[in-house]
Amino acid sequence: MTVIRLPDGSERVFDHPVTVFDVASSIGPGLERAAVAGKVNGKLVDLDNLIENDSELTIITEKDAEGLEVIRHSSAHLLAHAVKELFPDTQVTIGPVIEDGFYYDFSYKRPFTPEDLAAIEKRMLEIAKRNLKIERKVWDRSEAINFFKQQGEHYKAQIIESIPGDEDLSLYSQGNFTDLCRGPHVPTTAKLKVFKLMKVAGAYWRGDSNNEMLQRIYGTAWLTKDDQKKYLHRLEEAEKRDHRKIGKQLNLFHIQEEAPGMIFWHPKGWALWQQIEQYMRQVQNDNDYLEIRTPQVIDKELWVQSGHWDNFRENMFVTDTDERSFAIKPMNCPGHVQVFKQGLKSYRDLPIRLAEFGSCHRNEASGALHGMMRVRAFTQDDAHIFCTEDQIQEEVVRFIHLLKGVYNDFGFKDLLVKLSTRPVKRVGTDAQWDKSESALESALMEAALDWELQPGEGAFYGPKIEFSLKDCIGRVWQCGTLQLDFSMPERLGAEYVAEDNSRQVPVMLHRAILGSLERFIGILIENHAGAFPLWLAPTQAVVLNISKNQIDYAQRVTEELNSHGFRVSQDLRNEKITYKIREHSLQKLPYQIIVGDAEVSSKQISVRSRSGQDLGQMPVTQLIERFKEEIAIKI
RNA sequence: GCCCAUGUAGCUCAGUGGUAGAGCACUCCCUUGGUAAGGGAGAGGUCGCCAGUUCAAUUCUGGUCAUGGGCUCCA
C-alpha cells in the first residue's frame, strides 16, 4: 500500500509503488498532459520517479513557476545536445536556469558565430520534434568519470570529482546525448516548444578569471509563444528607456573616445544635475550636515597611510609631477578625515557630519564601463559622520529616515535593505563588532524596515547596510550605503578628547544616499523614460507662437515665467504650430504654452500638458500657481 | 583585464575590391499656418585610427582605440 497525499489534503491509495506520472494520470488526462515533474516530500523529482513509501506529492505542471524552470533546464540540455550534434568535439560544462531563461557554457576550438547560433537553434527544434524520451539513471562515480573522459568531456569529469561522495550521481539521456544533471527534466523533448537563443558571450570556467574563457550561449524559454513574445517586448521597452539613447535624444550628455568612462554634460543634462545637487544640498543642510570640499589630487603618502595604495592601487589614476607621486582621489574619506583633524575636537563636538559632492576617479577595467551606470569619473553625495560608539544607533536611525525621505521625493517607494555583518578577515575588536552590528539592527527595526541578512559580507573595516530601490519596470538598483569604519580614523590619526580627558578614536560612518550622481541620473532617466517630473525637468515649458504677430507677446510670457524661477524656453521659429508641438513633445517637455491672436487679445495663454491634454486658456498667474503646486509635491 | 559583436553625414541606418547613399536634422527660398511632420532648393563624409596585401582598400588581413552584450572586478 502506498498512500499519496496531495496538496489539497486528499489522499490516493495505491496497492503498488507508483510514479509521479501514474498519480497524475490517475487524476485526469489534462493533468497527465500538463505534468512536467513532481515534488515528493518537498524534493523535486522526475515524472518517472518511483514513489515506494507513503509520501506527500505535488505535481508540477507547465503552469507552475517550478514547471517553467524545469522546461528551461531541459531547454539548456537541448541546447547542449544540438551543439554536440553540430560540433561533436565541443566540451559541455554547465547549463543552469537563470531569470527568464537559461545558458550553457561550452569549450570549443573556435568561437561560435551568430550563424552558428541560428543553426543550433534550428537543430534544437528538430531534436525537440524527435520526441526523445528523457531518462534518468544513477551511475557509479568512477564509471561516470570514465564515461565522460572517454568522450573527451574533461570538464564534466572535473565536475563529478567535485560532487560530494554521498550524493547520487544522476545522468540524463535523450537519444544519443547524455549529460550529468541533478534534474528533474521534462519527460520528452517534445515538451520543449517555445525557446530562442539570445546571444553568445564569454564566461570563465568556474567564474575564475585565471581559467579558460568558455563560450556561453544564452537562451530564453517559455510555456507559450505569447509569453515569449511578451518577454521580447519587455526587452524592447527596456531598450527604449536606455539612458544612453535618451541622453542623446534629449541632448543631456555625451561620452567620447578621448575620455572613456567620463561624461560631457550638456546644458540640459547639467540643469537636471543641478536640480538634484541643489535638492540634496538643501536636504543635507536641513539635517545638520556641514558641506566641505577637498582636493582632487593628493600625495601618494596619504593613500599609503589610508591603506588605499595597498588595496586599490591598480584602480587609481596616478600622476608624477616634480618628482612626487600624486593620486587622483578614488574616495573622499581620507580627505574628510584631514578636515576633521584640523583643530582639537571634544566629545562635545560629536557627531560631526562632513558632506561633499565629492568628485572621484577610479580606473575601472575597460570592459566594466557602461554608459553612466559604470564610469571612471563620478560624483558621490558622500558624507562621513564622526561619532562615538554610543552615538552609532542614533546616527543610523537619522540616516535611514533621511534616505527614505529622499527616495520618496524621487518617486521610489520600494526599498530593499541588506545588512552585512563581520567577515572572517577583519579589524576591530569583537566587542566593537557586537556593539555596532546590534546598533545597525536596532536602527533598522526602529525604522520598521525589512532587511536581508548577509552574514560575513561586511567590509573588513566594519559592517554595512546597503539600500536598493526598485524602478517602475521592476529593476533593482543599489544606491544608498551606510558603512561603519573602525579602521581608517585610527590609521589616519583622527581623535577627540573624551569626557575623562583621554584621547579616543572616533567611529566613522561612510554614507551615501544616491551613490554616484551620474549613475543615479541614469536610473532616473530610465525610470521616467526621459519624461521627468516638473521639478526635475531641464526645460519645464516652452512658449510657442502661432505666427509672427505674437512674437512680442510670447517673449513677454517667457520672461514672466522665467522671472519666477521657472525654466522656460521659447520657440519663435517660422514653423507650423503642429510641427513645433511635435518636436517639443518628442523632447518630453512637461508643458507647452501656445499663444496666438486669441491669447494676445485676452491676455491669456493656452496650455498643453505632456499627456497631450489641452488645458485651455488661463492667465499666466494661474499657470504659475499650478507649477508651484506641482513642484512642491514633486510629481 | 578576458570573450564575442559593432564603428559609414549632426542623428538613425543602407551599401560596395574601382575613393559612397537614404530618411530626419541643418542652411536658403516659398508658405503665416490653432494642438504630434506644408513645399522647394542647397550644403554636408579622409567610411574610428595605424599598418599590410593589391594596379587599386571604406570593403580583405593584422594591430589599435572606443562602444555594446557578457565574464571577472567593485577595497
Write down the pLDDT at residue A613: 94
Strands A541-545, A591-595: pairing is parallel
Residues 6 or more apart in contact with residue A176 via CB below 8 angstroms: none
Distance of CA A579 to the CA centre of its chain: 39
Residue A541, Cα to own-chain centre: how many angstroms?
32
Distance of A573 CA from B9 C1′ (whole Å): 25
User: How many Cβ atoms are within 10 Å of A594's Cβ, its own excluded?
Assistant: 22
pLDDT higher than 80, residue A573: yes
What band does A254 get if pLDDT is binned at 50, 70 and 90? very high
Q: Measured from the CB, is A577 under 7 Å from any atom of strand B? A: yes
The backbone torsions φ and ψ at residue A605, rounded to the nearest 5 degrees and listed phi first, read: -135, 150
Average of pLDDT values for A27-32? 82
* Lowest mean per-residue pLDDT among A166-170, A192-196, A608-612: A166-170
CA triplet A228, A234, A235: central angle to 5 degrees? 95
Mind listing the pLDDT tens digit for each residue in A311-346?
Answer: 888 899 999 888 899 999 999 999 999 999 999 999
Running DSSP on this structure, what letter comes out for residue A451?
-
Interface predicted TM-score of the whole assembly (ipTM), two decimals: 0.93
Q: How far apart are CA A396 and CA A442, in angstroms?
A: 9
Mutual orientation of helices A392-409 and A430-446 as an angle, nearest 10°?
40
pLDDT band at A310 (very low <50, low <70, confident <90, very high): confident
Residue A181 has pLDDT above 90, yes or no: no
**Phi/psi of residue A98, nearest 5 degrees:** -125, 180
Residue numbers of A annotated as active site = 333, 362, 380, 382, 384, 464, 510
CA distance A497 to A345: 6
Is A175 near strand B, with its CB below 7 A from some atom of it? no
Estimate in Å the CA A307 to C1' B75 gap, whole number: 9
Three-state secondary structure string covering A30-73: HHHHHEEEEEECCEEECCCCEECCCEEEEEEECCCHHHHHHHHH
From residues 287-326 of A, list those within 7 angstroms of strand B by Cβ.
Answer: 307-308, 311-312, 315
Which of A319-328, A346-355, A564-573, A618-627 shows the lowest mean pLDDT across its residues?
A319-328
- In the block, residue with C-alpha cell 555625451: A254
Find out whether A363 and A314 touch, Cβ atoms under 8 Å: yes
pTM, two decimals, is: 0.92
Whole-angstrom distance, CA of residue A496 vs CA of residue A502: 8
Question: Which residue, A452, A488, A216, is CA-closest to A331?
Answer: A488
Is the predicted pLDDT of residue A518 greater than 80, yes or no?
yes
- Terminal alpha carbon distance of chain A: 66
Does residue A167 surpass a pLDDT of 80? no
Rounded distance between C-alpha atoms, residue A236 and residue A349, angstroms:
54
A173: β partners: A135, A178
- Closest nucleotide to the alpha carbon of A103, via C1': B70
Q: Which comes out higher in pLDDT, residue A608 or A140?
A: A608
Residue A303 pLDDT greater than 80, yes or no? yes
| Longest Cα–Cα distance in chain A | 95
* Residues 6 or more apart whose Cβ sits within 8 Å of residue A29: none
- Between the CA of residue A625 and those of A312, A614, A620, what are the distances in Å? 52, 18, 9
Å between A308 CA and B70 C1'?
29
Protein residue closest via CA to C1' of B35: A578
Residue A3 has pLDDT above 90, yes or no: no
A144 burial type by CB count under 10 A (0-12 exposed, 13-18 middle, 19+ buried): buried
In angstroms, the CA A194 to CA A230 distance is 12
Residue A613: all three cell numbers together:
491634454
Name the β-bridge partners of A359: A379
Strands A2-5 and A55-61: parallel
At A401, is the secondary structure helix, strand, or coil? helix
Flag residues 230-259 of A with CB < 7 Å from strand B. 244, 248, 255, 257
Is the CB of residue A546 inside 7 Å of nucleic acid strand B? yes
Nucleotide closest to A613 measured between CA and C1': B35
**Rounded alpha-carbon distances, angstroms, from residue A575 to A382, A580, A583, A610:** 47, 7, 11, 20
pLDDT in tens, A423-436: 888 888 888 889 88
Dihedral Cα A422, A424, A429, A431, nearest 10 deg: 50
Q: What is the mean pLDDT of residues A212-230?
A: 91
Residue A513, C-beta contacts closer than 8 angstroms, at least 6 positions apart: A280, A381, A402, A403, A406, A407, A467, A479, A480
Residue A274 C-alpha cell reads as 543641478
In angstroms, the CA A102 to CA A216 distance is 10
